[in-house]
Amino acid sequence: MVAKTNFDVGRIRDDFPILSRQVRPGVPLVYLDSAATSQKPISVIESMDRYYREMNANIHRGIHKLAEEATQAYESARQRIAEFINAPSPEELIFTRNTTESINLVANSWGRAFLQPGDMILLTEMEHHSNLIPWQLLAGQLSLRLEFIPVTPRGILDLDEYQRLLKMGPKLVSLTHMSNVLGTINPLEEILPAAKSAGALTLVDGAQSVPHFPIDLSKIEADFYAFSAHKMLGPTGIGILYGKRELLEKMPPFLGGGEMIKRVELRSFTANDLPHKFEAGTPAIAEAIGFGAAVDYLSGIGMEEIEKSEKKLTGYALERLSQIPGLHVLGPGIEDRGGVVSFYLQDIHAHDVAQILDSEGIAVRAGHHCAQPLHTKFNLPATSRASFYIYNTEQEIDRLVEGIQKVKSIFA
C-alpha cells in the first residue's frame, strides 16, 4: 500500500503566482534564492489584502467591530504560530520585525540587564551577521568577552572544542540552527543541554530552520528562539522571538511607547503583560495575519513532507553539481545538511557566475551571504548559493547545471 502524501510540487507551484513569470521573453524564472527570501502563495497575499479591504483598524485599543476583528485576526496568528513550533504559550511569542531585531532585543534587554564586564558570550564561526554584530556592539559597550566554536574543514562545529569553551563559563551560547552558507544543521540536541549544564542560557537563530523542517520547542528547550516570516512563505517585516516566560518577565522593555504599558505617569510607567510588554506602538498587523496564513499553508502540506522532499532535492543537486569539473561545494554531506548549497568555480568570481545565470533566468545569491567571517575562514571572497524550497524541482536543478556549464564555457 502506497502511503498518502500531501506533497505535490506541481500543485504547490500553481499556488505561487510569481513562478509563472518570464524574467525576459522566452526565459522562465528559476528561483533558487529562498534562503534570502521565499516566494509567497496566493493564500498569504489574499489574507493581507482581506485585512486592508475588510477590517483595516488598529488593534487592542478599539471596541468597534473593525478593531475587534483585526485584534482577533492578529492574536489568532500568534496562536497558530505558537502551535506550529509547539511553544508552551502564545504569550511567549513576541512579534518583531525579523530575526535580526529578535536577537537585538535579547542583546539590548536581557544583555544590558544581566551581563557584567568580563562576562563571556559563546558564538560560532558560522554565524550570520545578525548573530554577530549585536553581541559585538554589546561587548564593546559592556566590556564583554566573545569566544567562538570553530568550524571544521568539513563545515560542522568542533564539539570537542565546544566542551572546552564551556568550561570557561559563558553566560550565553548563541548559535544558528542551520547555516545559511554551509547548510549545516547543528545538533541542538547535544549543544543546548551541554550549555545548560554549564550554567549558560541559549539563543537559537532559527531563520533557516523553521521554514524547512519540524521545530518542537518542547523538545529543543532553547531559552530564546528567533525566526522570520519572509523565509517561510510569509511577508517581509515581521518575525518572532520566542522566550521562556520566566526570562521575559524579568527583562526590561526593549522599546517605549504605546501598547507596552499598563499605566503611565509623568515620571514613571508600569509595563504591560507579555507579550505586549515588548510590542511598542502600532504593530505590523497585516504582516502578522499573513504570517499566520503562511504557517497554515505549511501545516497543510506537513513539515515532515517538506523536509523529506527538500532532502531529496538537495541530494540530487549535490550529485549533479559534483559532476562539474572545477566546482567546489562548501559544507557537509546530505546527512547533516539542509536545502542550501554554496559553491565556487575556480578562477571565476561568484558575481560573474550569478550574472550569467541570471541571463538564463536562474536566480541565485552571490557574495558572502552576511557571513563574511566564515568566508574569510575558508579563504574565499564570495560564493554562489543555490537554495531550495517547496516549489523547486529537479528540472530546475538541471537548468542550474546547464547554466553553470555556460559560465564555464564563457570563461574557458
CATH of residue 93: 3.40.640.10
- The predicted pLDDT at position 170 comes to 98
Per the domain annotation, does 318 fall within a domain? yes
116 and 218 within one domain: yes
Per the domain annotation, does 2 fall within a domain? no
C-alpha cell at 205: 537563530
| Distance in angstroms (rounded) separating the CA atoms of residues 342 and 348 | 14
Out of 299, 328, 363, pick the residue that ends a domain: 299
Q: What is the 3-state secondary structure (H, E, C) of the chain?
A: CCCCCCCCHHHHHHCCHHHHCEEECCEECEECECCCCCCCCHHHHHHHHHHHHHCCCCCCCCCCHHHHHHHHHHHHHHHHHHHHCCCCCHHHEEEECCHHHHHHHHHHHHHHHHCCCCCEEEEECCCCHHHCHHHHHHHHHHCCEEEEECECCCCCECHHHHHHHHCCCCCEEEEECECCCCCEECCHHHHHHHHHHCCCEEEEECCCCCCCCCCCHHHHCCCEEEEECCCCCCCCCCEEEEECHHHHHHCCCCCCCCCCEEEEECCEEEECCCCHHHCCCCCCHHHHHHHHHHHHHHHHHCHHHHHHHHHHHHHHHHHHHCCCCCEEECCCCHHHECCEEEEEECCECHHHHHHHHHHCCEECEEECCCCHHHHHHCCCCCEEEEECCCCCCHHHHHHHHHHHHHHHHHHC
Instruction: Give the max Cα distance, the chain.
Output: 72
- Of 297, 305, 203, nearest to 251 by C-alpha is 203
Domain, as residue range, for 398: 9-37+303-411
- CA 260, distance to chain mean position in Å, is 26
C-alpha cell at 247: 526570562
Per the domain annotation, does 32 fall within a domain? yes
Catalytic choice (9, 23, 370, 401): 370
377 and 240 within one domain: no
- Of 397, 399, 370, 334, nearest to 35 by C-alpha is 370
Per the domain annotation, does 1 fall within a domain? no
Per the domain annotation, does 253 fall within a domain? yes
335 and 286 within one domain: no
Q: Is 319 a catalytic residue?
A: no
The position carrying cell 545569491 is 365
20 and 125 within one domain: no
Per the domain annotation, does 68 fall within a domain? yes
User: What total of structural domains would you count in the chain?
Assistant: 2
121 and 27 within one domain: no
b/e burial code for range 305-324 (CB count within 10 A of at least 16 → b): ebeebbbebbebbbeebeeb
Pairing, β 201-205 against β 224-228: parallel
- The predicted pLDDT at position 5 comes to 61
102 and 63 within one domain: yes
- The predicted pLDDT at position 3 comes to 43
Whether omega before 275 lies within 30 degrees of 0, making that bond cis, reads: yes
332 and 273 within one domain: no
184 and 150 within one domain: yes
292 and 210 within one domain: yes
List beta partners, residue 329: 343
Contact 197, 146 (CB under 8 A): no
**Averaged in consecutive runs of 10 residues, what is the pLDDT profile of the chain (412 residues)?**
67 98 95 98 98 97 94 98 98 98 98 98 98 98 98 98 98 98 98 98 98 97 97 98 98 94 94 96 97 98 97 98 97 97 96 97 98 98 98 98 97 86
Out of 268, 299, 330, pick the residue that ends a domain: 299
Residue 26 Rama label (left phi>0; alpha psi -120 to 50; beta): left
Per the domain annotation, does 405 fall within a domain? yes
Whichever domain contains 19, its CATH number is 3.90.1150.10
276 and 181 within one domain: yes
Out of 269, 299, 329, pick the residue that ends a domain: 299
322 and 287 within one domain: no
Contacts of 82 (CB under 8 A, 6+ apart): 89, 90, 92, 93
pTM of the predicted protein model: 0.97
126 and 30 within one domain: no
Per the domain annotation, does 161 fall within a domain? yes
